[in-house]
Amino acid sequence: MKKLILLLVFIAGFITGYAQKVFLDIDISRPYTEIYYFPYYSSGTIQFTDGSVYNGQLNILLASSTLCFLDEEGQPDIFTDIDKVASVSIGRNYFIPLLSHYIQILDTDGNVMFGVEQYLQLEAEKRYGAFGREEKSPNVPIEKRDLRSEGYHINSGGRSLAAESTPYTVHQNAYLIKDKKAYVLNRKNFKRFFPSKKALIQQYENQNTIDYSDPDQSLMLFKFLMAN
Q: Give the percent of the chain with pLDDT over 70.
A: 73
Q: Please, which pLDDT band fits residue 6 given cuts at 50, 70 and 90?
A: very low
- Contact present, 85 and 95 (Cβ < 8 Å): no
Domain residue ranges in the chain: 2-118+171-183, 185-228
Q: Please, which pLDDT band fits residue 154 given cuts at 50, 70 and 90?
A: low
Q: Please, which pLDDT band fits residue 189 given cuts at 50, 70 and 90?
A: very high
- Contact present, 200 and 207 (Cβ < 8 Å): no
75: CB partners within 8 A, 6+ apart: none
- Residue, of 165 and 177, whose pLDDT is higher: 177
Lowest mean pLDDT among 16-20, 57-61, 74-78, 109-113: 16-20
pLDDT(127) > 60: no
Rounded (5°) CA angle 46-49-50: 105
pLDDT(4) > 70: no
Query: For 73-100, what is each residue's pLDDT tens digit?
Result: 989 999 989 999 999 999 999 999 999 9
- Contact present, 204 and 224 (Cβ < 8 Å): yes
pLDDT(125) > 90: no
Lowest mean pLDDT among 29-33, 158-162, 186-190: 158-162
pLDDT of residue 165: 72
- In what helix (H) or strand (E) does residue 106 lie, and over which residues does it extend? strand 101-108
C-alpha to C-alpha distance for 74 and 41, rounded to whole angstroms: 10
